[in-house]
Amino acid sequence: MRGFCCVVLWIFPIFSSTIAPPERELCRKVPEKCRTEQNVPLCIEDRMKTCENKDHRGPVIYDPKYFSIQISSEETVDTERGYLIHISDEALQRSRNGLGDPNLIVSLINETFFRVSSSLNTKKGNDSSKPDTILHGQTVLGVWLGKNEVQNLSQPVQIRFIDTKQSQNGTCVYWHFEDNGKGNWRTDGCNTTIDNGDFVCSCNHLSFFAVLIELAPEMTSSVFQMCT
Ligand SMILES: *[C@@H]1O[C@H](CO)[C@@H](O)[C@H](O)[C@H]1NC(C)=O
Ligand SMILES: *[C@@H]1O[C@H](CO)[C@@H](O)[C@H](O)[C@H]1NC(C)=O
Ligand SMILES: *[C@@H]1O[C@H](CO)[C@@H](O)[C@H](O)[C@H]1NC(C)=O
Ligand SMILES: *[C@@H]1O[C@H](CO)[C@@H](O)[C@H](O)[C@H]1NC(C)=O
Ligand SMILES: *[C@@H]1O[C@H](CO)[C@@H](O)[C@H](O)[C@H]1NC(C)=O
């Protein structure tokens, strides 16, 4: 009788863990949850790979900082938050990698988490507290397509910053993680065009994107140095 009790007690934890699996974090909430981390971009990048895209329990909530849609063919998606994203067929194939149609996830993140000491801003000096560039709209766009890495594309993806009303020149940049987890803004692998007041970034991979606006004329040269 005592042995039976023990068996019951040992089995119970196994059942309870299968009945109530730990809830996965919602992708929509990842940037907010990462706010307090020391390296916010790295935290977001990591957690976006394991998070749950859909909140199955509640009604669909409009979130001005989060957009998600399933992609099944090459298309241009209007996020209705000021950005158009074109997903090339190659990017889609790369992302599928034998799995089903992936979700495109777009997250608008406060640029303050992407301030660096070894960035474009400091290329011509060492004072990062007085950057002579700003990010367009002060917003960084995180773009993911499924859980697989989407890199090294010969058919670029396009991120269009709509109707920016900018008279200045801008340069598309992406956040590059170094081996130590820190990051900086880089331009290689992204081309910038200006089309009817829109900044169009054509890039060979997905990442965190932004447009750097040059405030000082001498910035132009250091940005172009980065390209070569
Ligand atoms: C970004 O964060 C800073 C510092 O927390 C805050 O002052 C600013 O209002 C935020 N910007 C936006 C667009 O939310
Ligand atoms: C950093 O800035 C200070 C003051 O502007 C300057 O004296 C110093 O030489 C700079 N150091 C480097 C490595 O550029
Ligand atoms: C990128 O793609 C090219 C050809 O499309 C290939 O030669 C190269 O090895 C790839 N590089 C990486 C890092 O995957
Ligand atoms: C943009 O940059 C180009 C080349 O550096 C320059 O000729 C042009 O005047 C700039 N335009 C604006 C609006 O700053
Ligand atoms: C950027 O432009 C160059 C020259 O036109 C081209 O070779 C390259 O493939 C383009 N890269 C992307 C990511 O569009």
State the DSSP string of 152-200. S-SS-EEEEE------S-EEEEEEEEPTTS-EEEE-TTEEEEEETTEEE
Nearest in space to 186 (alpha carbons), one of 162, 159, 200, 205:
205
134 Cα–ligand 4 center, Å = 16
Q: Give the pLDDT score at 4.
A: 54
CA dist., res. 186 & res. 226, Å (int): 7
Nearest in space to 199 (alpha carbons), one of 208, 209, 207, 189:
209
Is residue 67 within 8 Å of residue 102, measured between CB atoms?
Answer: no
143 Cα–ligand 4 center, Å = 29
Pocket test for ligand 5, best of 88, 191, 209 (most atoms within 8 A of CB): 191
Q: Give the pLDDT score at 54.
A: 80
Q: Model pTM?
A: 0.76
Is residue 117 within 8 Å of residue 128, measured between CB atoms?
Answer: yes
Is position 21 within any domain?
Answer: no
Q: Give the pLDDT score at 127.
A: 44
Q: Give the pLDDT score at 110.
A: 92
Q: How many domains is the chain built from? A: 1
Q: Which ligand is nearest to the CA of 40?
A: 1
Supply the range of the domain harboring residue 206.
27-53+65-227
Is position 6 within any domain?
Answer: no
Pocket test for ligand 4, best of 165, 167, 169 (most atoms within 8 A of CB): 169
Is position 76 within any domain?
Answer: yes
Protein residue whose Cα sits closest to atom 13 of ligand 5? 203
Is position 7 within any domain?
Answer: no
Q: Give the pLDDT score at 134.
A: 66
Is position 13 within any domain?
Answer: no
CA dist., res. 203 & res. 155, Å (int): 9
Nearest in space to 186 (alpha carbons), one of 84, 116, 112, 93:
116
Q: Give the pLDDT score at 23.
A: 76
Residue 101, token pair as written in the block: 């149609």
CA dist., res. 8 & res. 80, Å (int): 54
Is position 15 within any domain?
Answer: no
Protein residue whose Cα sits closest to atom 14 of ligand 3? 152
pLDDT along the chain (228 residues), means of 10: 51 51 85 94 94 79 92 95 95 88 94 69 43 70 92 96 76 92 92 91 96 62 42
DSSP-derived pairing of the beta strands 198-203 and 170-177: unpaired
CA dist., res. 27 & res. 221, Å (int): 38
Is position 8 within any domain?
Answer: no
110 Cα–ligand 1 center, Å = 6
Residue 152, token pair as written in the block: 């090294």
Q: What is the CATH number of the domain that holds 171?
A: 2.60.220
Q: Give the pLDDT score at 133.
A: 63
Protein residue whose Cα sits closest to atom 10 of ligand 1? 110
CA dist., res. 62 & res. 110, Å (int): 18
Is position 79 within any domain?
Answer: yes
